[in-house]
A and B are shown apart, each in its own frame.
Chain A
């Protein structure tokens, strides 16, 4: 399978008429507030280095104003960086010509937006074919492909409706179908589920995970919601004031928050749904009748042990070999006590 990882290198974005001029100052430590007060320029992103893994979900998390939406727009260059590189399949997206960029956007990326950004004058099906229409795919084929994805996101029978006849959740399904119909390697999701109410948001997350399990796209997912980040992200980068303050797997972030800001953030997180059995398992001893597959989360492990009445369980790998063991006590310990850091 092709390597569809995205590498963001030394990316800076300074908004204003002459951002380049202040790069050196920012590199030498000028703060966002100083830059704004003294020079009227706004620091968007500062020294971003993220290696987004191929075929995984990379979450970029941050509160509003942290630069996360600016970040994602550099990947399809809806925003030009002040300096820096975004490398995909050996090519720097920031250096592409207009024509190349257009081709790149048509074939390599698809995007889902927070406010859906559907075309209000087009029906659901005509919205879904939009990307293929721009690519010049013939009518029959684009119709078939769009119908396939509409049905995959659960919109059978709504093809001829207009977007504003649909609820927010359904509109975003159209947005997702529109992006998937493009069949691009990169799926960019800019707070895609943030405008939806909690139940529908969970629903959409499940749909995304289900589809990702078979599609293996490189997904870049922006969110301000830590639970969402932990549920979806294979990798998470946390942004604050335009800087990456920590990146790693959800487990790494929960177990070893980089600073007090993040520690504060993760206080309320349900650890049982983040930490995996592998993290706390001890050497295999074969002393239990129940087995738990590797990579399971603690909540599931605890549940299995409680249901079977066992105080211990074996961890097995994909081939069924025992690779470790956990006790109910250690599982509950890890779920309730903040880990040392």
Chain B
């Protein structure tokens, strides 16, 4: 009787101090099972998936080549023109040109072009996928309930974690880098497209209904135009987040300012790291200011208010 009591006492103590975890072998088999399944999936479909992304690779490579091969003076003119078209601000154009000249003078021109190409393609991809996704999400609360947690995961999961399956599937290269960037950068444009459409004035929507707008007409003549400032805030955030990912992308073989930073980390080159890091910051500031000014111009109609 007394021994029984002692034994139970011991068991309870053990239960409180030791977490009732899976046995070691079970746990190993569990992990192994997942790994093996995914490896099997990779063996089976890896090539197909890689082929599926070939067009993306072709576009990215073509664009990189184009940007790198363009003579630098022409490139500066083109970029200045783009900045002016977007922002209509001479100070910003001048600032951009000076930034480009300094970065180039410090020997980072080609890397900057690679990074610009990656960011441009990634942003374009995020917009092409993200805006329709945001539209779908705005159509029903159920789709919103499904997509929101996925976006939460995409934004919070450490990027190294999703690098693993991407690497297993696609190996090292530009496309996996691009995908990693997009996974991290796409949530804002999706979220803000959804939000922007949901925030459109109910009265205006009712008017569109009353005049017999089809769902499609309503989307293109009322919802999207009125959501545009929000959508653009999303695009701005997407660009910023894509830039934040260039070093991680460099980890899986994307060339550019990020790979130089990585080299600097590995070799403790302070100057190299600082210079490339600041170049990324410079690009970010230019992108940010231009897209913000552009976003403001989209709201021209709300500027002048009748007193």
Contact = CB atoms under 8 A, between A and B. Distances in A.
Given A78-B206, A113-B206, A133-B221, A166 B211 contact: no
Interface in B204-227: 204, 206-207, 209-214, 217, 221-222, 225-226
A120 B301 CA distance: 7
B212 A104 contact: yes
B302 interface: yes
Given A162-B304, A165-B305, A115 B210 contact: no
Contacts of A167: 306
A111 interface: yes
A133 B289 CA distance: 36
A171 to B, nearest CB: 8
B226 A121 contact: yes
A103 B206 contact: no
Given A117-B203, A117-B204, A120-B204, A109 B306 contact: no
A76 interface: yes
Contacts of A119: 204, 207, 221-222, 225-226
A22 to B, nearest CB: 26
Given A110-B211, A117-B206, A164-B306, A134 B226 contact: no
A182 interface: yes
Nearest to A162: B301
A217 B7 CA distance: 94
A134 B207 CA distance: 12
A111 B304 contact: no
B140 to A, nearest CB: 17
Interface in A183-235: 188
A109 B210 contact: yes
Interface residues of A, number: 32
A105 B217 contact: no
Nearest to B228: A121
Contact of B301 (A78, A121, A133): A121
A76 B304 CA distance: 34
A106 B226 CA distance: 22
A240 B201 CA distance: 29
A182 B211 contact: yes
Interface string A116-135: 01111110000000110111
Interface residues of B, number: 22
Task: Name the prevailing secondary structure of the B interface residues.
Answer: helix
A304 B213 CA distance: 52
Contacts of A106: 211-212
B203 A113 contact: yes
B302 A120 contact: yes
Contact of B214 (A102, A110, A117, A164): A102
Contacts of A111: 207, 210-211
A117 B212 contact: no
A167 B304 CA distance: 12
A76 B210 contact: yes
A229 to B, nearest CB: 22
Given A121-B301, A165-B306, A134 B213 contact: yes
Contacts of B305: 164-165
B123 to A, nearest CB: 24
B226 A165 contact: no
A163 B177 CA distance: 47
A38 B206 CA distance: 31
Nearest to A136: B217
Nearest to B207: A117
Nearest to A182: B211
Nearest to B214: A102
Contacts of B221: 119, 130, 133-134
A165 to B, nearest CB: 5
Given A113-B206, A117-B204, A130 B301 contact: no
Interface in B169-208: 201, 203-204, 206-207
Nearest to B204: A117
Nearest to A106: B212
A52 to B, nearest CB: 17
Given A110-B211, A120-B302, A167-B306, 15 more contacts: A78-B210, A107-B212, A113-B203, A113-B210, A117-B203, A117-B206, A119-B204, A121-B226, A121-B228, A121-B301, A131-B211, A133-B221, A134-B214, A135-B212, A164-B305
Interface of A: 76, 78, 102-107, 109-111, 113, 115, 117-122, 130-131, 133-135, 162-167, 182, 188
Interface of B: 201, 203-204, 206-207, 209-214, 217, 221-222, 225-226, 228, 301-302, 304-306
17 contacts: A111-B211, A113-B207, A117-B201, A117-B206, A119-B222, A119-B226, A121-B226, A121-B301, A131-B212, A133-B221, A134-B212, A134-B213, A134-B214, A134-B221, A164-B304, A165-B306, A167-B306
